[in-house]
Amino acid sequence: MVTGHPWAKKASGPGRLISVTNAVVIIVNYDSGERLHRCLLSVLAQQPPPRRVLVVDNASTDGSAENLPQGVELVQRPRNGGFAAALLDGLAASQEPFVWTLNPDLEVQPGCFAAAEAALEADERTGSVAPRVLQQEAPDRIDATAIGITSCLGQLNLGHDLHPDQVTADSQLVLGPLGGAALWRRSALEKAGSFDPRYFLYWEDMDVALRLHRVGYVCRTVPEACILHEGGGTVGHHSPRNVFYMVRNHWICLLRSLPGPILRERAGALLVAPIRAALLYAGRGRGLSALAGLICGVAMIPASLWSRRHLPRDASDDEAATQIRDLMSEADKNRAAMRKAPPVAREVDR
């Protein structure tokens, strides 16, 4: 218990305090406006509260990182180096064993932190926890229960646009959490190699999720841990920047982090998947951004293949591949369920 914690509250009985958890919250901010302050208020209202709350600001120009609530620490970066780079700065500035990574366009619901952290404490093999992310404008619709990868090697927000009654209320094994709404075990992140700043935006969560599986950890959903997500945030849905990084990072993530047996089995799907995603974005009027993403992604392939040589792993490639194949099968079933429910969900939507 940290008695000097700025938002520790009196519990029943004289002189008693509610203890804080062993978690740090890292919120990456870039010109988020009032979203950041709404997010912080929801974080500070959690009981018991996290030990520390860090805002890592990527050189915002809108004043959103000013006048933060009492007890919130600011890590100011000199330039916008992207989401993963900011998370690395937050990790370097903290040492708590549990790490929340949040986007500022979220509102954490009561009891979320306690439920998710209890799941992490219950099993040392659990390296990450995926809270249930709901759409802020339609809280009766899921934004994502977790992230998955299909047998066609497309990235999927599991459960997107489904009603909570259409998905299981039980905890499940999944590939990983959304990077902007996730709870991680610090020791697992360190063993897997942590976040890679080369991604700038998008796919860094998939990269870490795959590497966690390769070093023997799993991810679990915690449906009772709920977060509301505004969506779009600073980048915006299907903006040129969104499309560029979603397409660029597709090949480099999978070539770097998928187990070898899956790469060999799914070589055709790997070749086609980013092109298919680019064509979908082109159909939404973002052809130039998608093409630029493809070209830059191809240019980064050699470095991605080279970096495979240095990936840590505990399990053999065959063991990791078996586990990930099972999760692909579940993602395929989830995608089929999503396609039956209007509006149609697309596996490239993030």
Q: Is the confidence at residue 2, as pLDDT, over 60?
A: no
**Angle CA 261–120–123, to nearest 5:** 70
Helix (H, G, I), strand (E, B) or coil at 250: helix
Within the chain, strands assigned E span 23-29, 52-57, 72-76, 98-102, 106-108, 126-135, 142-144, 146-149, 155-158, 173-174, 181-185, 218-229
What's the confidence (pLDDT) of residue 339? Answer: 84
148-205 pLDDT, tens digit per residue, is 999 999 999 999 999 999 999 999 999 999 999 999 999 999 999 999 999 999 999 9
The model carries a pTM of 0.88
Both tokens of 341, joined, read 């429910």
Distance CA 350, CA 306 (A): 28
Between 19-23, 148-152, 312-316, 338-342, the lowest mean confidence (pLDDT) is in: 312-316
Domains observed in the chain: 23-229 (3.90.550.10), 240-340 (no CATH)
* pLDDT tens string 222-238: 999 999 999 765 555 66
User: What pLDDT is stored for residue 343 in this prediction?
Assistant: 52
pLDDT score for 234? 54
pLDDT mean over 316-330: 89
pLDDT, tens digit (0-9, with 9 covering 90-100), for 75-118 = 999 999 999 999 999 999 999 999 999 999 999 999 999 999 99
* 102: phi then psi, degrees, rounded to nearest 5: -130, 145
**pLDDT, tens digit (0-9, with 9 covering 90-100), for 234-274:** 555 668 888 999 999 999 999 999 999 999 999 999 999 99
pLDDT tier, 9 (very low <50, low <70, confident <90, very high otherwise): very low
H/E stretch holding 278: helix 267-283
| Cα distance between residue 21 and residue 6, in whole Å | 14
Both structure tokens of 344 = 């149609």
pLDDT the model gives residue 11: 37
Sign of the CA dihedral 343, 345, 348, 349?
positive
**At 342, is the pLDDT very low, low, confident or very high (cuts 50, 70, 90)?**
low
pLDDT at res. 253: 95
Per-residue pLDDT band for 15 (boundaries 50, 70, 90) equals very low
Confidence band for 13, pLDDT divided at 50, 70 and 90: very low
pLDDT at site 58: 95
| Token pair for 17 | 């305090």
User: Cβ(290)–Cβ(247) under 8 Å?
Assistant: yes
First to last CA, the chain: 38
**DSSP 3-state of 322:** helix
Whether the CB-CB separation of 88 and 197 falls below 8 Å is answered with yes
